[in-house]
Structures are given as structure tokens and as C-alpha cells.
Chains A and B, each alone.
Chain A
Amino acid sequence: MGSRASTLLREEEIEEMKKETGFSHSQITRLYSRFTSLDKGENGTLSREDFQRIPELAINPLGDRIINAFFPEGEDQVNFRGFMRTLAHFRPIEDNEKNKDPTVSEPLNSRTNKLLFAFRLYDLDRDDKISRDELLQVLRMMVGVNISDEQLGSIADRTIQEADQNGDNSISFNEFIKVLEKVDVEQKMSIRFLH
């Protein structure tokens, strides 16, 4: 396994990934071994079924949406680069990253990018707006059949009413940011990757 991890992962690739995602070398190799252990088909890519085997995702009502976030539009395989790119959203923000000068392009784990990731979970059709229907679908996933459609509808309406600021009956990304202004996203959307 170990030999495979290092043979399949070329140093240049690791370098590029380090630059792109900010992970350290050992984190990348570690995650690579995780990646290969998830990869039951052993073809260097992960399919949706591979993700479904993770218990945390399997029982998560939004698990499907999270899994979707790993896959680029219209594909059902994700390679290690894509896998890392998605995971990079969850890298904790480190102290010395906070006060970097803004000219450098924002890293994947910035607050905005974290929020964007969360936003995409709800934005099913990727039109950069969360509409009422999309909210309803997500709600349905979250509460099952315990609450009537009518009530779910009113919840969705209220949610939009609360968050919507420009009156277009949907939640744009900016409005989404506004809603979660007080939530410590940097903290909550971070995973402690092992080094």
C-alpha cells in the first residue's frame, strides 16, 4: 500500500497540490492513502458508491449533496486532485494565513470559499440562488415525512422571507453570507487533518 501511495503520487503532483490546496506533504500522502482505501474499484478514481460507504455520509440527510460537491458538473468519477480540491475547503485557517495581503488569490479554505461550499449544498441547480423549491427538497431530506407539505412550505417561505433582501424570493450567495454572519464558519467548517 505504502509503495503504491508513493509510486502513484508523483512529486510534481504533490508540489502542485501543495500550492493549490495548502496541505502539507504528509497530509497529502496520508489523504492519498485514505483515497486509495476508499477506492474499491482500484482505478484511481472514486465513484458515488465509494463515498456512500462512509457512515457519516450515509446517515447524513444531506449526504447526497455533500457527495455531489465532490464531483465536477456532469461527471461521476473524481480523481485525487479533485478530491483534494474539495477537501481543501475544510482545511482550518491558520493564524498566519489570516493577515496575508489581499493581492494573492484567496485560498480554498477562506471564509468565503467555505461558505460558498455550504451554499452549493443547497443550490441544487447551481444557478447561484437558493429557490423555494430547493429549500423544500433539502427540508424534505432533513425531516422525512414527519411534517406535512404545507408546513414545510411555510417553513421554506419563512426562511426565504428572513434571508431575502432584494425581494426576488430566493437566497443569493450574498444574502446567505449575511445570514451566517454571526456563525463561526472558519471554526465549524474545518476538519483537523492529520499531519
Chain B
Amino acid sequence: MPPRKKNDLSIKMADDDAKRRAGKRRAKPNQRARGRKAKQSEEEEDEEEEEDETPRRKVRSKKAKPQDSEDEEEEKGVKRKGTNAVGRKKKAAKEESEEESEEEVRGKKKKGGKVTSKDQKEEHNHEKKGTSKGKGGKDKGNDKHKDKDESPDEDDSEEEDSLSEGEMAALKEEVEEKKKMIATLRNKPWRLKRRLQNLKECQAFVEKFEGALGKGKGRKLYAYKVMMAKKMIKFHRDFDNFKTACIPWERKIKEVESHFGSSVASYFLFLRWMFGLNMVLFGFMFGLVVLPEVMMGLPYGSIPRKVVPTADQSTAMDYSVLLDFGGYFQYSVLFYGYYNDARTIGVFKFRLPLSYLLVGVGIFGYSLMVVIRMMARNSNEGGDGGDEGQFTFSFKMFTSWDYLIGNPETADNKFASVTTSFKESIVDEQENQKDENIHLRRFLRVLANFLILCCLGGSGFLIYYVVKQSQENAKKDENTLTWFEQNEVDVVMSLLGLVCPPLFETIAELEEYHPRDALKWQLGRIFALFLGNLYTFLFALFDEVNAKLEEEKAIKNATLWNRNEYYANYSSFYNTTDVPPLEIAPSDVTRGPCWETSVGVAFMKLTVNDIEVTYITILIGDFFRAVIVRFLNYCWCWDLEAGFPSYGEFDISGNVLGLIFNQGMIWMGAFFSPGLVGLNILRLISSMYFQCWAVMATNVPHERVFKASKSNNFYMGLLLMVLFLSLLPVIYIIMTMPPSFDCGPFSGREKMYDVIMETLAELPTFIGNIVGYATNPGLILSAVLLMVLAIYYLNVTSKNYENANLELRKKMQMARDEEKNRRNNKETTNQSQQYLEDLMPNRSLIPPPVVEEPPPGGRLDRPGDRLQGRGGAEGGADLPLDAK
């Protein structure tokens, strides 16, 4: 450091400083400041200033700790000081500068820290509170220490001491006062509320400063408490960060949202939610069924159901067979047939068949619960967006930019999202301000609905007809049928799926709904169409199952007959009753068709098919189209990008419905193929990455970007419906169909649910009795009645609340309008006074109100008119909120 010029004062200051640092380490600048202040203004320290001082003192504490070593050095320096006063001064000055430079370095390091997030700020405030408490105590101790230490320059230190002493005394006094207040609060003639408030304040104050003032043990405890509080806060912050980081795909979705708007993002959010649900289902399935079977069940090849039949063994590893889930796949844990019917397995006596049934049903129970809970939560959230409607645009205008963004890429995203959100609001706004020919619109909407109903009816009939036809065809010999006759149903279904959605979309343009509502209608209509798909599929499935059942019966009889024959022949041939069991390799045993496994295979194939079709559609329909449009555009007659093919838009309705129906397949198939849930997890993950990439790389935002409704309840509603529809066949099968006699966990039982009966029989009798009573029709009927009544009652109450809500909202709106009215009319109502004021020259710099000439009556009306118009517009603006 170069020697510097310093005036007297600053040298003295430095001197002071050095001493102070020697004695007490913390709170340097404040003390320094205070010392000087004292010199200048002769100890005029009132309480006000003290109040000021405290926060500033807090300020040092953060840095104080890492400085310790440095301080120690300084202390040594100070010890030497006593001998040489002049040298000491110089040294002190030097030290100060050194420290200054260090501070600077530290400051530089922390510069980045300025860019902090909001919550950090908040957190920091807390922190400061905490440290301030600790501070007081340390200061005090240090002061005492200094008292003994310092003999030279008495005047300085004395001033200082008295200052801090005075401060301490004042603080103590205050604490005492507060304590007294707490003690006597009971006698104060105040209202309870005020008393409580006072009490709380006092207690907080005492808590804050008493620990700081205390000595010895109390202080240590206090310091410890403060430290722990700080640690806790830090931990909480870290934990929050961690939680945010743990949300999967958050960044991806945000990126998509900022470019394509909330409507496209809503699909991805739905996809992610679905993934979460499926993870839980997978956990159930894997943990309670697959894993126990693999760990504790009989190994592959031990019994007939666990081995590939000899006839198929040559092709069991063929790729084409495996692709169809035949061969080794078919006889693996992936499917129902592999599981053994032993009542318990392994050392833990795990009841696998029971667990299988409960998980199969539990999957439905859990899904229902989750979907319904989600719907309830969503509708809650949707409800309280009430007052955002007031200043939509103002908020967007004044508060949309995030001032802490420092990364260009983030800034780009933010730009995009600000623009998108403006666009969304514009669309909402246009919808509200559209003044329309209501009769024409109504007519068009009715017409559109009529047309679509015709389409749906037509396709419904077509499906029905085709299915019937195919059933008849199935009875004929397969060789006489043409290819078309064999695949009639599939062809018709895919044709319908190809033609109808665009047709609906075209018809929907007649209706001119808000895009958000249009999407809902479109979803509903395609959903109805897909139901036909489901219907045909189930139909085919049940036909197959019935055929298999017949076949099975025949085989079962044949096997039994064979065995009886064997026993009879053996005993008559060797003339003995001690017949050894038949020695056949497990793979050679004749076995039934096991219809459950074939149903599982059908669902598996369907899912894989669906995945393939979806991905190929994206690849061709979006990716290749985008490539062609992008690169052929250089050498084409017209502008491909702006003109005909253009880039694809993201098909929200198609994707959402695809997801929903796929999930329906999973729900239905999971019972017959435990591996299906795992496959679905893979599908969801891959489709998340693939579709995110596809949408960012190849699609363009919708022409009218619209804001998705806050609640995904429409999606959820569709999902619930599909869930219910897929629940029906499975429950029906469990309750009525006889399980295969030689495969699966329920083999050998009359019905699948007999497993439960068996378990009950093993339990103590009184439980069986209780269950017997609970299943009594009388009890069940009354329970159902009770539930119906409860539903009715809750429904009525919720309606009432809704009405009250609406009423309140209306009132608020009215109050707001009234206030506006009042303000506006102020200028005009006391006109006479205004005229008087106008007469006076240079009354004020504000220009007089714009309206001047027209007669008083007209003048009164005008702002009112304007207001009314505005009120109307705003009333309209609130509408979409309600619609949400």
C-alpha cells in the first residue's frame, strides 16, 4: 500500500479503529461511526438513534466470523502498540487499509450474490433478525473486556464505553419495562384484542433482547439457539431448492409453455401427471405381485404353466414370435398364466393369489381416488381466481418481466412467454368484445351439432354393422373369406379415426367458439367416436374369450378322461391300487388355451401398436413435413412455409385422447398382464422426451394461442369416464368368468374371488361372522341409501355456497363500479364550486377538466355514459373467469 495523505480526523479514526478491533471484533464500522458522532455532537444519543443503530450493527455480523483469524493477528499488533505510539498509529492505518482491501476482494467475490431471488431476500430478513440478537450480547461482553484492556487514550474509550453502556442500559430498561408490562397487562383496561396484541409484542421483544443481555450460560444457549435457527432456515431453503429440482421435466415443460402457450403445456402437464400415477401403479404391481413371484415362486420350467410347450420351443426365441409376445414372453411373469395357484409361497407364506386379486382391484381403487381427488382440488383452484380479472392487462404490463434474468437464453424464453401471454389475453379479449348476431350464431351452432350427431350416429351404425358382419364371417371357413372380409373391422375403424376428427374440426368452425371451448367440444366428440372403437374391441375380445372357454372345457374334460383312463388301465394292467403318478415332462403336458394370458397378450400388442403408430405419425406427419417445408422452400413455386403445407400445429385433442385411451387399455389389461404397467412407464417416459423434442423442433404455435383453463378438469373428467368404462369389464370378469383350470393364480377355483373366501375361512370365525353380516343385503341396501342421502345433502350445500359466492362476487363488482362512479362524479357534482375556482386566475397548474361548454345536464350525463360503457366491457371481461 502506498502511503497516503490523511487528514487528522481520519488518522484518529483509524486509531480508534485499531483499538476497537483489538478489543472487540464485531460491529466495527458502526462503532467507529458512533465514536465520531459522539465527538462531533457530544453524546446526544436518544432512543431514536439507538433504534437506528441496531439494524446497522446486525449488518456486520455476517462477515464477522470468517474474520476471526485476521482479528487475532491484529490483536498481536495491538499488544505491541503500547511501546510506540507513533508506530502504532501508522500500523493501525496500514491495518485498516489492508482490511479495506480484503473487504473489497470479498465484495468482488460476492458481487454475483446481488442477483438474488425473492425468497432469498425474505429469508435474509429473517436471518438478520436472528443475528441482531446474538450481536447485542457479544458487544456487551467485548465492551467489558475492553474496559480492562485499554488504559491509554482514555477519553476515547471512555466515551465509547459510556455510549454503549448507555445503550445497554436503555435496552435493559426497555426490557424491564416490557416485562413489567407483561406482568401488569391483566389489569389494563383495554380490549382483549389489544391486550393480546400488546402481549405478543412485548413477549417477542423480551425474547429478542433478554437473551442478548444475559450472561454466561444464558447467552451461550441463546447463541446456540440463534445458530440453530439460522441453520434451519438454510436447510429449509436448500430443501425447497431440492424439491423444485426434483420435479421431473419442469424445465422442458416450461420451455414448451413459453413458446407454445399454456394450452400445449397443459398436455405435457397431463402427461407428467399420468406418469406419476403410473409409477404408483407400477409400484403396487411390481412390489406385490411380480417381485414375490420371481423371488419366492417356483422357478421357470418346474411346472407346465411355467414352461414353453414342446411344440413351440423351436420358435420360442424367434424375433417375430417375441414381437407378438409369444414364445418365452408368453410364459413369463409378464402374463397372468405364469403365476402359480399355491395358496402361499416362500418362507414368508406370502399369499400370492390373494395379493394378485387385491392389487388388480386396488389399482382401480387407487386410480379412482386419485382422479377424483385431483378433480376436487382443481375445481377449488379454479374458483378463487376472482379478483385477477380486474387488472389483467395492467398486471401483464407492469409486472411480467423478471428483472433478475441474466442469462440470454432465459431471456429469450421469457420474451416468448410474455408475448404468448399477451396473445392469449388478446384472444380472450376478442371473444368478449365480439358483438355478434346472436340468432345466426345460435342457428349455426345447432346446425353444427346436428351435423356432428349425424356423423356420430352414422359411424356408430357402421361399426355396429361391421361387427355383426364380422361375427357372421367368423363362423364361416377362413379360407373362403377375402382379405377385406377378414379385416373389415380394423379397416373401418381406422378409416373412421382418420376421417372424422378433421371433419369435426371443419364443422366446428361454424360454431366460432372460443378456442378453449372449441377444444373441449372437439375432445368430447372424438371421445364419443373412440367409444365405438372401444366397443368393437371389447366385443371381439369377449367373443374370443368365449371361444377359448369352450375349447378349454373340452381340453379339461379330455385331460381328466385321459388321466382316469391311465389310472384305470394301470391298475387293471398291474392289478394294483398303488398307481405311480404319471411321468410327463412339464413342457409336454396337454394344457388349456389359458384365455387370460391371451387377453393380456392382446392388450400388450395393442399398446405396442399404439406406441408405434403414435411415433410414426409424429415422425412422418410432423418431422418429415417440417423437413420438406423447410428445405424444399428454397426451390419451390410458392412459399411453402406461409402457404399450403406449412408446419404442423401441435394436435392437443388427438394427443390428449390418445393418452387417455391408452391409459384405459392399461387399466383393463393390467389384471391380465402385470408387465403392461411397466411397459406403459417406458412409453410415457419416451413419449415425454420424444414429443417435447418434436414440438420444439417441428411444430409452430397455434394461430390463436389461447390460455388453457387453469384446471385440467375436462381432461380429468374424460379420464374418469374411461376409467369407469375399463373398470366394468374387468370387474365383470372377476365376478362371473371361471378362471382357466391350469394356469394363473386362481386356477382350480370356481370363480376368481373365491380366493377371498378361502382366506376368510382361515381367519378366526368371528371375523367371518362380521363379514357375513356386512354382506347382508339389508345392511348393504341401507348403506347405499345413506350414501345417496349424503350425496344429495352435500350437493345441495355446495350449490348454496356457489350461489353465495356468485352473489358476493357481484357485490364486489358493484362496489368497485360504485367507487369509480363516485370518483368520476366528484369533478362534476360540485360544479358551482368548480366554476368559482375556474374564475380565479392561476388557481392551479392542473388544467381544468376537459368538459366545459355543454350545459350542466349534458355534462352530468357524459362521464356516466362513458362509465357505463366501461362497466359493461368489464363485466364482459369477467365472463371468461366465470367460464373457467
From B59, B387, B391, B419, give the contact of A162 (CB < 8 A). Answer: B391
Q: Decide: A166 and B116 in contact? CB cutoff 8 A.
A: no
Interface string of B89-133 (1 = CB under 8 A from A): 000000011101111110110110111101011101100110000
Is B824 within 8 A of A167, CB to CB? yes
- Checking A11, A92, A165 against B823 with a beta-carbon cut-off of 8 angstroms, the contacting residue is A165
Q: Which residues of A contact B270 (CB under 8 A)?
A: none
Closest to A165 in B: B823
Cβ contact within 8 Å between B401 and A167? no
- How many angstroms between the C-alpha atoms of A24 and B52 in the bound complex? 11
Q: Are B33 and A118 in contact (CB under 8 A)?
A: no
Indicate if the CB atoms of B393 and A33 lie closer than 8 Å: no
Which of these binds chain A: B423-431, B575-583, B708-716? B423-431
B62: which A residues are within 8 A, CB to CB?
195
Q: Which of A109-146 contact B (CB under 8 A)?
A: 118, 122, 135, 138-139, 142-144, 146
In the complex, 5 of the A-B residue pairs with CB atoms within 8 angstroms, ordered by the A residue number, are A5-B104, A29-B100, A143-B418, A167-B866, A194-B107
CB of A122 to closest CB in B, whole Å: 7
Q: Does B232 contact A (CB under 8 A)?
A: no
Whether a CB of chain B sits under 8 angstroms from the CB of A77 is no
The 5 nearest A-B residue pairs measured at CB: A2-B101, A25-B29, A195-B59, A59-B411, A2-B104
Evaluate whether A60 and B401 lie within 8 angstroms (CB atoms) in the complex, with A25-B33, A34-B111, A161-B873 already known: yes
| B524 beta carbon closer than 8 Å to chain A | no
Instruction: Kindly state whether residue A18 has any CB partner on chain B within 8 Å.
Output: yes
In the complex the two chains form, is A179's CB within 8 Å of B394's CB? Answer: yes
Most buried by B among A144, A154, A195: A195
Q: Could you tell me if B103 and A155 are in contact, using CB atoms closer than 8 angstroms?
A: no
Tell me which residues from 64 to 104 in chain A have a Cβ below 8 Å from any Cβ of chain B. 92, 94-97
CA distance A195 to B387 in the complex (A): 39
Which partner residue on chain B sits nearest A94 by CB separation?
Answer: B55
Are the CB atoms of A159 and B397 closer together than 8 Å? yes
Chain A residues 1 to 58 lying within 8 A of chain B, measured CB to CB, are: 1-3, 5-7, 10-11, 15, 18, 24-27, 29-30, 33-34, 37, 55-56
Cβ-based interface call for B68 (8 A): no
Among the listed A27, A33, A147, A194, which residue makes an inter-chain contact with B426, where contact means beta carbons less than 8 Å apart? A147
Does B156 have its Cβ within 8 Å of any Cβ on chain A?
A: no
**Known A56-B405, A194-B113; contact A163-B9, beta-carbon cutoff 8 A:** no
Known contacts: A34-B107, A55-B406. The answer to whether A165 contacts B391 by CB under 8 A is no
Residues of chain A with a CB closer than 8 A to B110's CB: 194
Query: Whole-angstrom distance between the alpha carbons of A167 and B395 in the complex?
Result: 20
- When the two chains form their complex, are residues A2 and B115 in contact, meaning their CB atoms are under 8 A apart? no
Alpha-carbon gap, A111 to B552, bound state (A) = 82
Q: Does the CB pair B415–A195 fall under 8 Å?
A: no
B392: interface (CB < 8 Å): yes
CA distance A139 to B426 in the complex (A): 14
Please name 12 further chain A to chain B contacts, defined as beta carbons within 8 Å, in addition to the given A25-B30, A26-B63, A180-B398, sorted by A numbering: A11-B9, A15-B33, A24-B29, A24-B59, A56-B404, A96-B54, A135-B397, A143-B418, A143-B422, A155-B397, A179-B391, A180-B399
Task: Confirm or deny: B320 has a beta carbon within 8 angstroms of a beta carbon on chain A.
Answer: no
Size category of the B interface is 35 or more
**Bound CA–CA A166/B826 (angstroms):** 9
The answer to whether residues A191 and B820 also contact, given A2-B103, A34-B107, A147-B423 and a CB cut-off of 8 A, is: no
Which B residues are CB-close (under 8 A) to A2?
A: 97-98, 100-105
Q: Which of B377-397 contact A (CB under 8 A)?
A: 387, 390-395, 397
* Cα(A194)–Cα(B114), bound, Å: 7
CB neighbours of A168 from chain B (8 A): 850
- Verify B121–A187 contact, CB threshold 8 A: yes
CB-based contact A163/B823 at 8 Å: no
> How many angstroms between the C-alpha atoms of A18 and B514 in the bound complex?
57
With A30-B103, A37-B108, A59-B405 as known contacts, state yes or no: A163 contacts B56, CB within 8 Å: no
- The reply to whether A1 and B101 form a contact with Cβ atoms under 8 Å apart is yes
The interface of chain A, by Cβ under 8 A from chain B, is 1-3, 5-7, 10-11, 15, 18, 24-27, 29-30, 33-34, 37, 55-56, 59-62, 92, 94-97, 118, 122, 135, 138-139, 142-144, 146-147, 151, 154-155, 158-159, 161-163, 165-168, 176, 179-180, 182-183, 187-188, 190-195
Say how far A127's CB is from chain B's closest CB, in angstroms: 11
Contact B866 A139 (CB under 8 A): no
Q: Is B292 an interface residue (CB 8 A)?
A: no
| Contacting pair A154 B426 (CB below 8 A) | yes
Mark out the residues of chain B between 47 and 72 whose CB falls within 8 Å of any chain A CB in the assembled complex: 51, 54-56, 58-60, 62-63
Complex interface: chain B residues within 8 A of A193 (CB): 114
Q: Which residue of B lies closest to A10 (CB)?
A: B10
Decide if B429 touches A158 in the complex (CB within 8 Å): yes
* Cβ-based interface call for B400 (8 A): yes
Check if A96 sits within 8 Å of B104, measured CB to CB. no
In the complex, what's the smallest C-beta–C-beta distance from B879 to chain A, in angstroms? 15
**A95→B33 CA distance, assembly (Å):** 22
- The interface residues of chain A lying within 8 Å CB-to-CB of B101 are 1-3
**Please, which residues of chain B bring their CB within 8 A of the CB of A34?**
107, 111
Least Cβ–Cβ distance between B535 and chain A, in angstroms? 46
Cβ of A19 to closest chain B Cβ, rounded Å: 10
Nearest CB in chain B: distance from A177 CB, A: 11
* Contacting pair A142 B401 (CB below 8 A): yes
Please tell me which one of the listed residues A147, A163, A192 contacts residue B124 in the complex, with CB atoms under 8 A apart.
Answer: A192
The one of A1, A62, A146, A176 in contact with B419, judged by C-beta atoms closer than 8 angstroms, is A146
Chain A residues near B867: list those with CB within 8 A: 167
The answer to the question of B4 belonging to the interface, with a C-beta cut-off of 8 Å to chain A, is yes
Q: In the complex, which residue of chain A has the Cβ closest to the Cβ of B113? A: A194
B406 touches A158 (CB 8 A): no
In whole angstroms, how far apart are the Cα atoms of A61 and B58 in the complex?
A: 36
- Provide the residues of chain A in CB contact with B405, threshold 8 Å: 56, 59-60
B635 at the interface (CB under 8 A from A): no
B247 within 8 A of A: no
In the assembly, what is the distance between CA of A164 and CA of B124, in Å? 37
The interface residues of chain B lying within 8 Å CB-to-CB of A144 are 415, 419
- Which of the residues B1, B59, B406, B418 comes within 8 Å of A142, measured between beta carbons? B418
A163–B4 contact, CB under 8 A? no
CB closest residue in chain B, given A101: B48
